[in-house]
Amino acid sequence: MRHFTLLLSLAFLCTCNRAQPTDEVPWKGASFLQPVTTSLTVVNASADTLELDISTRDVPDFVEGDYPGKLLPGDSATVSLDIFVAADCFVGLGFNHSLRPLLPGLDRKLVLTDSMRNAGPWEAHYTYLDGNLLPIRPAGRQPEMTDTLDHLRTELTARYAASWSQTKADAPAVWLDSFVRHEVDLAVLSDVFDKKGYMQFFYGDTLTISPQLLSRADLILNNPDYYDNVLYNRLIGSVAMYTHQGPADASSSAGARNYGRISDYLITKFPLPQQRSESLSAFAFNQQADQRMYEGKDENLARIRKELSPAYLRRLDEQQGRLIAARSNASGIKILLNSELLTTTGDVAKPSDKRTKPLTLYKFWFEGCYPCIVQQPAEAKLLERYPELELVYVAFETARKNWLPYIEKHQPPPAKHFYLSKQQKPILIDALGSVGAPTYVLVHEEEVVCRQCPKPDDPLLEKMIVGLLN
C-alpha cells in the first residue's frame, strides 16, 4: 500500500481557554500560536482506481507538488493540518463527495468501499458528527429559494432539527453533543446569509436583513461557546460583509469591498475580546495564503499587523516564509501553458504558441460558473482600452460536448479558446494549486506576472497592465 503525506498549515480562528460544563474539548488550550497537528486519511478500499480531491473550505490550499490526483485500489492518502478549531474539509473520492469536519487532535480516517465510512480511534465521534451534519450540509447544493430571510430561517430551523438522525444519548462525549447543536445553529444563519449573497450577486436582488435576524446572529457571535465551531468564521464574515460599512471604496471591486469590510469589522467590532488577536491573526494568514490579488489587500494586512503583538507577527512571518518556499517553483505554470490542449477546431495546440501580443490574460473557467460570466463586460473593456492585451479562455471541469455550445450561448469577448481534459487536471493543480473559477493568469512577454491575478473588474488589474506597458 502506498502512503502519501502532504503537510498543510492552515489558519482558522482559535479555541479559547475555557472549561466545558462536564467534558472539555480535546483541543482545549490550542491557539494560533500553538496549533494542533491533525491528520485526515482517505483509503480506497474499492476495486477501482478513483480520482481524489481533498481541500479545505474557505481557506486556500497553498502547498503545491506531491499531492496524488488519484488512488489505486488499496492506496491511501494522508493530509496533516495544523489547526486550532474545527476545520471543514471537502473530500472527493470517485463518485463520493462530501463536507467532513476535522477536529483538532482527533485524527480522522475515511474508508471508501460502496460508501464512505469512518475508521480509526475516533470512529464513534466522527460517525456521530456525520450522522447529524451531513444531511444538513451536502456538498455543492444551491442556496434555498425564499421570499424573506426570516421565513427561510424559520424553515431551516425546523428542517434541520427534524433531520437529526442521532440523539444526545448517542454522543460518545458530552462536548460533542453541544458541538453539533452549535453547528446546527450556525448552519441555519450561515445558509440564510449565503442566500442574501447569492441573490445579490447573481440577480441584483437585495433581501433585507431584519433587526430580528441580525440580533440572533449577534447573540451567537457574542457567545464564546460557539467559537470552536466550523461555521463561526463564515458567519462573522457574512455579518461583516452585509451589515458593516467600513472604509470601503465604492470604486473597488465587490471582492475588495468585502475583504475591506471584514478586516475593519475584526479590528473595530470583533465581539469576543479575548479571542481578538487570534481572529485577526487567522484572517491575516488566510489572506497571505490566498494567492488571489485585489486592490487594498496589502493595506488590509498592514492595518491588521498594527493590532498584533510581536509573538503573533513572528508566527505570521514564519508562515509566510513557508508559503514562499512552497510556491518557489514557478515551473508549473510554464508546463501548463506549454501543454497540448484541445482547440475549437478539434486540433491540439500549446497556449504559449498561440500568443500574438505582449500581454496575455489567461482565464480558467468551467461550465456553470456564474462569477465567470459576470466578469465578461470588464474583460471586454480591458481589451478595448489596451490593444496590446489578448484574452485566452481555458475551460476545465466541463463536459466536452457542452464546451462549445456554452461559449456560443454566453458570447464572451473576443478570445482564443482551449479545453483542458479531466486527465490533464493534475497539470492545472500543479500550476495554480487549488483552482477556483474564474482564475486569471497574466503573462508579459515570456514572464508570468501573477498566477492568481485580480479579476478584471478590480482596478488593480488595470493598474498592473498600465505599469507593464509603460
Task: Dump pLDDT digits (tens) for 402-444.
Answer: 999 999 999 999 999 999 998 888 788 778 765 678 989 999 9
Q: Where are the beta strands (DSSP E) in 261-412?
A: 341-343, 348-349, 359-365, 389-395
Are both 1-121 and 331-469 of the same fold? no
DSSP collapsed to 3 states, 50-69: EEEEEEECCCCCCCCCCCCC
Top-confidence residue, 244 or 320: 244
Q: What is the pLDDT of residues 288-329, one digit of tens each?
A: 877 677 778 878 888 999 999 999 999 988 887 777 666 645
Query: Considering the domain 1-121 in this protein, what is its CATH number?
Result: 2.60.40
**Whether pTM exceeds 0.75:** no
Which pLDDT band, with edges at 50, 70 and 90, does 355 fall under?
very high
Which pLDDT band, with edges at 50, 70 and 90, does 87 fall under?
confident
Q: Delimit the domains of the chain by residue range.
A: 1-121, 331-469
Domain 331-469 has CATH 3.40.190.10: no
C-alpha to C-alpha distance for 286 and 451, rounded to whole angstroms: 17
Cell reading at 426: 493534475
Q: Is the pLDDT of residue 255 over 80?
A: no
Which pLDDT band, with edges at 50, 70 and 90, does 20 fall under?
very low
- For 181, counting Cβ atoms within 10 Å of its Cβ (0-12 exposed, 13-18 middle, 19+ buried), the class is middle
Q: Which residue has the cell 457567545?
A: 223
